[in-house]
Amino acid sequence: MHGLVRIVPVTAVGLLLAFTMAMSRPLAAEDGNSVVILFKDGHRQSLATAGIERIDLKAPATVVYKDGHHEKLVGEIERIEFADSPLATMKPGRSHFIGKWEVGDGNGNRFFITLEDNGVAKKSLGSPHGTWTVVDGEARISWEDGWHDAIRRIDGKHEKVAFEPGKGFDDTPSNIAPARNTESKPI
């Protein structure tokens, strides 16, 4: 009987310790939304967002988990991606498009489109004046000469899609070319 009395508390303490350790480990990235950290040397590390309180980027970069433990990130970080999270699928808003864009004309040449915060659009090729708005996560520009352009984010990059006079934004485009905002913006 005395042996049983000693085994039960030891077993209970062991189970409690095992449960505590299991709950304190970071969740696997496959358990839900994740943050993917890409390092300059090419390796990547996925972390479940559910367990993360914050990521301190001051060297050495450290992940601080909600349970209080810390994990140092070894290597120089190139970027952090929010995979499978609402941030990854979020469409850009109006402020994303404000600025001076270098775009292609569909024939290998480049020109500039400037989108101002008041809805005015200007370009350095053709009719210089137009208006713009954001529809379904893309900047839609209507020019005075009848052309329409859209600046879209596709797979992390931007493109300028042009529609000749008489065509709408749902028609087949006249040309598609790369687009790049020349003005750096904070995160």
Distance CA 97, CA 152 (A): 9
Q: What is the pTM of this model?
A: 0.54
| C-alpha pair distances (Å), 61 with each of 57, 75, 76, 78 | 4, 9, 9, 12
The per-residue pLDDT string of the chain (187 residues; one tens digit each, 9 = 90 and over) reads 555 444 434 433 443 333 333 333 443 434 446 777 877 776 777 777 778 888 888 888 888 888 888 888 888 887 777 655 455 556 788 888 999 999 999 899 999 999 999 999 999 988 899 999 999 899 999 999 999 999 998 888 899 999 999 999 999 999 999 999 998 665 4
